[in-house]
Amino acid sequence: MASKRFAKADRRRCVSCGACENECPKDAVKVWRGCYAVVNEARCVGCGKCEKVCPAGCIEMRLREDGESAK
């Protein structure tokens, strides 16, 4: 069953440091060719670890149902 939340990275603000990639327990976040982080929404379990670790604050958690921010 998919989680209620999933992570979404803002490509324009991402600094592609890879902190999220290293933190993700499900390998759902990858830095795409050194440019920005991309989240595989299907794999994401919505734990929020990537959001906590992101130094640029470019990851936010969203609700799956309606796409609204979970905050």
Partner 1 sequence: MKKKHWYDYLWIWSIIYFALGFFNILFAWLGLIDFILPLVLAIFGGNKFFCNHLCGRSQLFTVLGKNLKCSRNKPTPKWMSSKWFRYGFLIFFLTMFASMLYQTYLVFGGAGSLKEAVKLFWSIKVPWGWAYTVRPASDWVAQFAFGFYSLMLTSALIGLIVMVLFKPRSWCSFCPMGSMTQLICKFKQRGGSPEISEE
Among 5, 7, 16, 28, which residue interacts with partner 1 (rule: CB under 8 A)?
16
Considering the rule CB under 8 A, would residue 33 count as an interface residue with partner 1?
yes
Establish if 70 lies at the interface with partner 1 (CB under 8 A).
no
Maximum CA extent, the chain: 32
Number of Cβ within a 10 Å radius of residue 6 = 22
- List C-alpha distances in Å: 18 to 1, 25, 42, 70: 27, 14, 20, 23
Nearer to partner 1, 4 or 18 (CB): 18
By CB under 8 A, is residue 67 in contact with partner 1? no
18 near partner 1, rule: CB under 8 A = yes
